[in-house]
Homo-oligomer: A and B are copies of this chain.
């Protein structure tokens, strides 16, 4: 199949060029805050510092992940590792709460705490990025703080009756109130990212307790969080795992579109194509690290792909729709950067595990939309939100909730998978 090989080589080359000449330089050239420590993560559409006096634990941690994983994958000639350490130093110094344990949610640029609450979502990213950092650096502080956060979640966040994790806490880890405070909700988002985090934690520590809790959270995702019929992800639940109307929380880490009342247009029948395939490929990664037979979850994984491919790919204008109904039918046709990023990895993973002939055309579709519409090649990063047709709606290059985790990971993981596909020819 010479054509096929040529196609893969061209895709890989395009991805490598973007990573080495645009994406990593974008970050390495501007994010290091040498005055205050940590990273600047707010950049406008020109890639200029847009000046927000905010550092979010999430963005700092995601930068640590990005630089650690880039170093592990062989990029940056040591500079990425140096940046990762710079971020770890700042997070431990300014975000760690010496009194109650855990990392604060936001500080100003100087590192003065502005929101002192403890958010499970953020702690999943500390565990993920700090474990990745120790894997990249052998600096024991990464695993040390990842384990501290794991222990804090086990103590404060686990629901020992219904299973799964509570998500929103005050500074002292007392549970926040109901409704918009989020204290009576459980979500796909947090549980999926805890799975991702515990996987890398176990990869780093090799400890039985980390693998055991990983297996348990996979059970939670598989048996509580996916739709009983369609096996697609359901965004929000009450603590006793009843489907909850999807509301906006006081603490956010994205730009989910809600009505003025903070409720989705259809609050009980939304599923995200990007989230579902992100779950699918992350789950396959977890199974590999934890040495669990793929066959146990094959049905679940195939269903995520089938649903996303049936509805989620825009064959007319390219790219991935935002969300739709579990039963079928798209409800939001805009294009967000992160769903497209996760779809890239997921589709190449499906090429490796299932059938390259079936999934490669979809990958090429999304790849083209990402490279032709989403990426701002002149500046170096990805545009956050576009119309269905690919016209930019938002144009800033980074923000506390965007940064570089989805974009850099998508490219590194895609290159790795294309390389394996080529190797098989």
Interface residues of A, Cβ cutoff 8 Å to B: 150-151, 154-156, 158-165, 172-175, 208-209, 212-213, 216-217, 219-220, 223
Contact = CB atoms under 8 A, between A and B. Distances in A.
Given A154-B154, A154-B155, A155-B151, A160 B209 contact: no
B155 A220 contact: no
Contacts of A213: 160
A155 B219 contact: no
Contacts of A212: 175
Contact of A173 (B158, B165, B175, B209): B209
A162 B155 CA distance: 16
A288 B240 CA distance: 25
A126 to B, nearest CB: 17
- Within the oligomer, what is the number of copies of this chain? 2
A160 B158 contact: yes
A333 to B, nearest CB: 36
Given A174-B208, A209-B174, A161 B158 contact: no
Contact of A160 (B151, B175, B217): B217
Contacts of A151: 151, 155
Given A160-B164, A174-B208, 8 more contacts: A150-B155, A154-B154, A158-B158, A159-B216, A160-B217, A161-B223, A174-B209, A175-B212
A183 to B, nearest CB: 11
B154 A219 contact: no
Contact of A155 (B159, B175, B209): B209
Given A173-B209, A209-B173, A216 B154 contact: no
Nearest to A151: B155
